[in-house]
């Protein structure tokens, strides 16, 4: 019996050694190896604070795949540089369309300025995954008549986890693109009066975030 157990352990060890190592999470890869960036399309999106809601019909921008590194190392010393296959995806949303805001029961024109997020894959499943989201630029948003006093999302902080490594983005491969849905909560911002605004939610319609020319691998 002892010999059988030892033989079983030996066979198991050999099988494990023969298996190829798999990455800790699904990585991002461009479908065109000549490009490290591509277009992003975002459908109906809602940014909700405890007192105000801003809704936009669409937005546009670009994605870029990044290598490993901390936020502070972005494109410095060989870290967080653009690549065709890597663990981090930077999404810049530069043009927001038809935005309206609701505050105290009143609906007014609203604005959202340039926003950049980092998506980091954490699951092993090839072709699908849930990305951790971090804020890369201090994204501003607010109702039009209060432009002099917008809300500003804090930059992601790796040490404190403020606006960093939040869950809520699910993605999958689809045809020649990656299709994702955002339902991110727990974002923090500096409010209009300088007071912190907590538990902000960022939501997109189902499959509303389209990253063209990209795949999960």
pLDDT at 13 over 90: no
pLDDT tens digits, residue range 52-68? 999 999 999 999 999 98
Q: With cut-offs at 50, 70 and 90, classify the pLDDT of residue 74.
A: confident
The pLDDT > 70 percentage for the chain reads 83
Residue in the structure block whose two tokens are 């935005």 = 99
The 10s digit of each residue's pLDDT in 76-86 is: 777 889 999 99
pLDDT tens-digit profile of 116-150?
Answer: 999 997 654 555 678 999 999 989 999 876 556 78
Nearest to residue 170, comparing CAs of 118, 133, 135?
A: 133
First to last CA, the chain: 44
Q: Return the biggest CA–CA distance within the chain.
A: 81
């Amino acid at each position: 019996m002892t010999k059988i157990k030892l033989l079983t352990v030996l066979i198991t060890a050999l099988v494990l050694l023969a298996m190829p190592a798999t990455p800790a999470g699904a990585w991002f890869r461009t479908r065109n190896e000549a490009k490290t960036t591509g277009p992003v399309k975002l459908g109906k999106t809602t940014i909700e604070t405890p007192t105000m809601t801003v809704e936009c019909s669409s937005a546009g921008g670009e994605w870029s795949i990044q290598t490993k590194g901390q936020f502070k190392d972005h494109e410095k010393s060989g870290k967080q540089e653009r690549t065709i296959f890597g663990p981090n995806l930077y999404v810049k949303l530069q043009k927001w369309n038809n935005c309206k805001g609701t505050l105290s029961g009143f609906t007014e024109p609203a604005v959202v300025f340039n926003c950049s997020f980092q998506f980091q894959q954490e699951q092993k499943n090839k072709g699908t995954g849930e990305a951790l989201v971090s804020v890369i630029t201090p994204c501003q948003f607010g109702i039009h008549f209060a432009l002099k006093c917008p809300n500003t999302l804090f930059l992601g902080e790796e040490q404190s986890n403020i606006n960093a490594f939040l869950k809520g983005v699910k993605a999958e491969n689809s045809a020649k693109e990656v299709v994702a849905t955002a339902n991110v909560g727990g974002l923090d911002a500096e409010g209009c009066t300088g007071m912190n605004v907590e538990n902000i939610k960022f939501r997109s319609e189902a499959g509303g975030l389209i990253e063209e020319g990209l795949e999960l691998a």
